[in-house]
């Protein structure tokens, strides 16, 4: 239900609902329901300010998409890998960490970094909270100077710089992962050759050796 809900709602709607949550509930309380026992109580307007609303809203929406990416990564691992890992007799957490997760990362990383880049661009939506982030600051300046296009180009350059840095990090991480996989494949091939039994001479080869 959580994933369905926050994948269905636009980010801007979630931000506006959270920011105006104090109209629905004046206070947020922590206690035992239906008993009147309250351990702590806070004014909603003090808890969900501009920054906290932006953090909570972006986290709720992006975590729903991230959960589906992680689930798809684990589903992409062949079922035989799970059976082979279980046959080794390793604990479940170690099977997941050492065998399944490295294979799932090949699918998770590209989509995961795409979501991180989308999150970086999605921070522009918090302008509806009148929070002084990049896009909101650009709006405030061009409303005062009337230089709309030049300032929007400056904002576009900043977003390009941010996403380029994230794309470079993605490239480095994927290259390191590919290098690790190649190293593991080489080590596995080398160990399999060392473990092969020595080839026994065939009878015909033994006869030729005696005649010589």
Look up the CATH number of the domain holding residue 126: 1.10.3720.10
Residue 210 banded pLDDT, cuts 50, 70, 90: low
Per the structure, the complete domain to which residue 36 belongs is given by 2-211
Return the percent helix, strand and coil in the chain, to nearest 5. Answer: 80, 5, 15
Burial class (CB in 10 A: 0-12, 13-18, 19+), 171: exposed
Name residue, tokens 């689930």.
Answer: 71
Cβ atoms of 104 and 95 closer than 8 Å: no
Mean model confidence pLDDT for the chain: 82
- Rounded CA separation 127/146 (Å): 19
Which of the pair, 135 or 33, is modelled with greater confidence? 135
Give residue 153's pLDDT.
93
Give residue 186's pLDDT.
62
Of 55-64, 179-188, 194-203, give the lowest mean pLDDT range.
194-203
Closest by Cα among 110, 156, 109, 108 to 135: 156
CA–CA–CA angle 137, 142, 143 (5° rounding)? 95
Question: 18-64 pLDDT, tens per residue?
Answer: 888 877 877 877 878 777 777 877 777 777 888 888 999 999 999 99
- Whether the per-residue pLDDT at 125 is higher than 50: the answer is yes
The stretch 191-209 carries a mean pLDDT of 55
- Whether the per-residue pLDDT at 187 is higher than 70: the answer is no
Give residue 14's pLDDT.
92
The stretch 174-192 carries a mean pLDDT of 71
Q: What is the pTM of this model?
A: 0.72
Give residue 211's pLDDT.
47
Give residue 207's pLDDT.
46
Overall number of domains in the chain = 1
In 76-100, where does DSSP find H-type helix?
79-87, 92-95
Which of the pair, 86 or 193, is modelled with greater confidence? 86
Question: 65-110 pLDDT, tens per residue?
Answer: 999 999 999 988 888 888 888 888 878 888 888 888 888 888 898 8
Give residue 70's pLDDT.
92
Strand partners, 37: 32
DSSP letters, 165-191, are HHHHHHHHHHHHHHHHHHHHHHHHHHH
Residue 184 banded pLDDT, cuts 50, 70, 90: low
């Amino acid at each position: 239900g959580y994933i369905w809900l926050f994948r269905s709602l636009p980010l801007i709607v979630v931000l506006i609902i959270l920011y105006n949550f104090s109209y629905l509930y004046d206070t947020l309380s922590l206690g035992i329901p239906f008993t009147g026992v309250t351990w702590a109580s806070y004014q909603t307007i003090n808890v969900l300010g501009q920054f906290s609303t932006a953090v909570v809203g972006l986290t709720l929406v992006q975590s729903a998409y991230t959960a589906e990416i992680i689930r798809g990564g684990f589903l992409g691992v062949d079922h035989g890998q799970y059976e082979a890992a279980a046959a080794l007799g390793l604990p479940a957490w170690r099977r997941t960490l050492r065998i399944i997760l490295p294979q799932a990362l090949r699918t998770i990383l590209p989509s995961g970094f795409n979501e991180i880049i989308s999150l970086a661009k999605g921070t522009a939506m918090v302008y509806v909270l009148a929070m002084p982030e990049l896009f909101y600051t650009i709006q405030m300046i061009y409303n005062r100077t009337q230089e709309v296009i030049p300032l929007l180009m400056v904002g576009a350059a900043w977003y390009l710089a941010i996403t380029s840095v994230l794309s470079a990090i993605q490239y480095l991480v994927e290259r390191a992962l590919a290098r690790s996989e190649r190293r593991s494949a080489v080590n596995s091939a080398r160990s399999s050759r060392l473990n092969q039994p020595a080839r026994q001479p065939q009878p015909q080869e033994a006869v030729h050796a005696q005649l010589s």
